[in-house]
Structure 1
Amino acid sequence: MKVLVVEDDPNLRALWGAVIERAGHTARQVETEPAARDLLMAEPFDLVLLDLFLGETDGVSVANFATYLNPACKVVVITGTALYPKGELFAMAPSIWAVMRKPVDIEDVTALCEHVAGNGTLPPPEALSTRGAEFRS
């Protein structure tokens, strides 16, 4: 499975990329919206792990662009903001499959990747939601 990690924090970006690759997937990493768009146009991805705020821009346009190019692509927003606490992101971008709140448990990131890859290891949504995960219903 191919995963695009879009995160402006270099430590988180490297950590998520390393964990995804250790799980046997391919991870490409970028830090900006323009870099994400360029890579999405060049390669198809199965999953995009997306920080909601990338410097001065937000990632909603990246989410929509990813699924415009590849409707099967899943987008998981990982954010540290307290904005949009009641699922508003799902209304803003129909392409968003799940939202996770920072700090995230790296095992939850791995579980999401495994679920998207078809390995069916995703914990029940209610188990993740206690740690701040929301899923499109």
Structure 2
Amino acid sequence: MTDISFPPNLRILLAEDDNDMRRFLAKALQNAGFCVISFDNGLSAYNRLREEPFQLLLTDIVMPEMDGIELARRATELDPDIKVMFITGFAAVALNPDNNAPRQAKILSKPFHLKDLVNEVQRLLAA
């Protein structure tokens, strides 16, 4: 664990269509001290992003209504400073340069340990 402490108002928007995975991810990040707002599809997550700022968008790539890459693209249009992390079982999709995903986005491939997720989120937000 790193010694970096984050302000309690640091907000993460989580978009993941798998209910169990979404619950596990949200709980792990909340236990690490982050404020997490979660949605089960990209469109709902995008609508929330339009209402208030978040420091990190943590999104699955393959989702109904709006995929994670489109969500990330629109999120960075709304807020160029938002950090983006993709969680996916399809890393090759995220790495495809033709998909217009934000270039600075981090990719965490499933399966991963929750500790690794928390460490990656902390590293990304500290950068």
Q: TM-score, normalised by structure 2?
A: 0.82
- Structure 1 residues 50, 90: closer, same or farther in 2, change over 3 A? farther
**Sequence identity (%):** 29
> Higher strand fraction: Structure 1 or Structure 2?
1
Partner of 1:133: none
Runs of 4+ in 1 over 6 A off after TM superposition: none
> Which structure exhibits the higher relative contact order, with contacts defined as CA atoms closer than 8 Å and separated by 6 or more residues?
2
Partner of 1:41: 50
Give the superposed CA RMSD: 2.1
Contact map agreement 1:7 1:54 (CA 8 A) in 2: yes
Instruction: Give 1:97's match in structure 2, choosing from 66, 85, 105.
Output: 105
CA–CA separation in structure 2 for the residues paired with 1:56 and 1:91: 17
Q: Which runs of 5+ in 2 are unaligned?
A: 1-9
Q: Helix, strand or coil: the match of 2:53?
A: coil
CA–CA separation in structure 2 for the residues paired with 1:67 and 1:10: 25
Counterpart code for 2:112: V
CA–CA separation in structure 2 for the residues paired with 1:5 and 1:95: 19
Partner of 2:3: none
Counterpart code for 1:98: K
CA–CA separation in structure 2 for the residues paired with 1:14 and 1:90: 31
Q: TM-score, normalised by structure 1?
A: 0.76
Q: How many residues align?
A: 118
Partner of 2:123: 115
